[in-house]
């Protein structure tokens, strides 16, 4: 799974987007690079919100519940699966005992301030054949519980190779409920040597192909990079350090363009699937059963059945989170 950063530059409805400006800045900032498009890319994101969070509470003394969201995302550069990011249900708060109720009383109709964090999110991936069917299920069969807020798309993005980076950029268009242009999104992918890319992908039977990295199209020569492929030589702290160092490189790259934007790089939960794969790799060396089952693991990801044509069902989970983070408009 390559390490990436995503930037979004909003635009006014009647103004031009920053796409042309960013393209010109790329050419000016990297004059020695041949900026010829090497391909096209696209995405589609659909956001749903629970209807309970949209309705006013009948009890003015009751603290309103945190809204729950469900996001569907498909990326053309990860064609073997779609991404779904869902809020976990809130855990019920135990009722205070009688002694607590005898404490100092506040105003009769006051709502207690909400200091609780937002509900955690759970990421899962599903085959493309089930992606559209599941979305239709939630928009029709579950319509009383979930409200389709908007659909966004990048219909015809452009891909450039710039040194050790791959840059994807395109205009974001809202297609539902009304059509409008929202701005420009840029994904910057690190293509150089990486410890993260050196961690092998596990097979469905729980074994690992040592020497076969996490993929994502990143060419990693572990011998040239000096990366030790022994599982004992890589720790989770190494992954954290790799993400932090690569984030600095991505920010330096973006800084050369001189464009203000909303950033998503080291966001919550990024790198979880990579660390989970590292744990399974270490367990495989001890003879433990590392096969993933259909349950929510402790990393906040739903592990489901793997499609035969999808060797790495978690590839792209990080960049999916980043896109979902920057494309949050008035949810």
CA–CA gap between residue 196 and residue 210 (Å, rounded): 13
State the pLDDT confidence band at 268, using cuts at 50, 70 and 90.
very high
What token pair was written down for 105?
A: 């009383």
Q: What is the pLDDT of residue 307?
A: 53
Q: In the predicted model, is pLDDT for residue 259 greater than 90?
A: yes
Q: What is the pLDDT of residue 21?
A: 96
Q: What is the pLDDT of residue 62?
A: 60
State the pLDDT confidence band at 298, using cuts at 50, 70 and 90.
very low
CA–CA gap between residue 127 and residue 54 (Å, rounded): 31
Q: What is the pLDDT of residue 302?
A: 53
pTM: 0.81
Q: What is the pLDDT of residue 311?
A: 80
Across residues 101-128, what is the average pLDDT?
57
Q: In the predicted model, is pLDDT for residue 220 greater than 50?
A: no
Q: In the predicted model, is pLDDT for residue 303 greater than 90?
A: no
Report which listed range, 36-40, 85-89, 106-110, is most confident: 36-40
CA–CA gap between residue 285 and residue 319 (Å, rounded): 29
Q: Report helix, strand or coil for 34.
A: coil
Across residues 289-299, what is the average pLDDT?
46
Rounded to a whole number of angstroms, the distance between the first and last alpha carbons of the chain is: 29
* Whole-number average pLDDT of the chain: 80
Across residues 128-157, what is the average pLDDT?
89
The percent of the chain in helix, strand and coil, each rounded to the nearest 5, is 25, 25, 45
Across residues 54-81, what is the average pLDDT?
78
If you write DSSP's letter for every residue of 280-328 in order, what string do you get?
HHHHHHTT------SEE-TTSBEE-PPPTT-S-TTTTHHHHHHHHHHT-
Q: What is the pLDDT of residue 87?
A: 87
Q: Which of 265, 323, 330, 329 shows the shortest CA–CA distance to 73?
A: 323
CA–CA gap between residue 49 and residue 55 (Å, rounded): 11
Q: In the predicted model, is pLDDT for residue 126 greater than 70?
A: yes
Q: In the predicted model, is pLDDT for residue 3 greater than 70?
A: yes
Q: What is the pLDDT of residue 161?
A: 96
State the pLDDT confidence band at 149, using cuts at 50, 70 and 90.
very high
Q: What is the pLDDT of residue 289?
A: 52
Across residues 50-71, what is the average pLDDT?
70
Share of the chain above pLDDT 90, in %: 52
State the pLDDT confidence band at 257, using cuts at 50, 70 and 90.
very high
> Are 258 and 322 a contacting pair, CB within 8 Å?
no
Q: To 10 degrees, the CA torsion angle through 90, 94, 100, 104?
A: 20
Across residues 293-322, what is the average pLDDT?
68
* Of 227 and 272, the one with more pLDDT: 272
State the pLDDT confidence band at 106, using cuts at 50, 70 and 90.
very low
Across residues 60-67, what is the average pLDDT?
65
CA–CA gap between residue 140 and residue 218 (Å, rounded): 40
CA–CA gap between residue 177 and residue 329 (Å, rounded): 13
pLDDT in tens, 306-320: 556 778 889 999 999
């Amino acid at each position: 799974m390559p390490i990436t950063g995503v930037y979004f530059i909003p635009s006014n409805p009647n103004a031009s987007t920053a796409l042309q400006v960013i393209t010109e800045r790329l050419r000016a900032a990297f004059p020695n690079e041949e900026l010829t498009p090497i391909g096209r890319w696209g995405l589609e994101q659909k956001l749903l919100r629970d209807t309970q969070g949209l309705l006013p509470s009948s009890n003015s003394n009751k603290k309103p519940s945190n809204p729950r969201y469900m996001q569907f995302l498909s990326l053309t550069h990860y064609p073997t699966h779609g991404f779904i990011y869902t809020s976990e249900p809130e855990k019920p708060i135990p009722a205070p005992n009688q002694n607590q109720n005898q404490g100092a009383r506040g105003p009769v109709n006051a709502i207690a301030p909400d200091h609780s964090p937002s509900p955690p999110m759970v990421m899962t991936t599903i085959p493309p054949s089930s992606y559209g069917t599941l979305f239709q299920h939630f928009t029709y069969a579950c319509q009383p519980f979930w409200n389709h807020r908007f659909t966004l798309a990048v219909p015809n993005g452009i891909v450039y190779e710039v040194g050790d980076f791959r840059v994807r950029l395109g205009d974001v268009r809202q297609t539902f409920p009304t059509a409008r242009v929202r701005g420009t999104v840029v994904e910057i992918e690190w293509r150089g040597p990486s410890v993260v890319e050196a961690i092998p992908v596990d097979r469905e039977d729980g074994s690992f192909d040592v020497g076969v990295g996490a993929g994502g199209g990143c060419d990693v020569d572990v011998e040239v990079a000096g990366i030790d492929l022994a599982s004992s030589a890589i720790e989770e702290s190494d992954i954290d350090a790799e993400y932090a160092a690569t984030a600095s490189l991505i920010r330096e790259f973006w800084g050369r363009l001189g464009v203000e934007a909303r950033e998503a790089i080291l966001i919550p939960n990024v790198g979880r699937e990579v660390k989970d794969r590292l744990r399974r790799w270490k367990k495989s060396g001890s003879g433990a059963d590392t096969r993933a089952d259909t349950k929510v693991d402790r990393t906040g990801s739903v592990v489901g059945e793997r499609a035969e044509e999808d060797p790495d069902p978690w590839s792209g989970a990080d960049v999916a989170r980043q896109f979902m983070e920057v494309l949050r408009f008035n949810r």
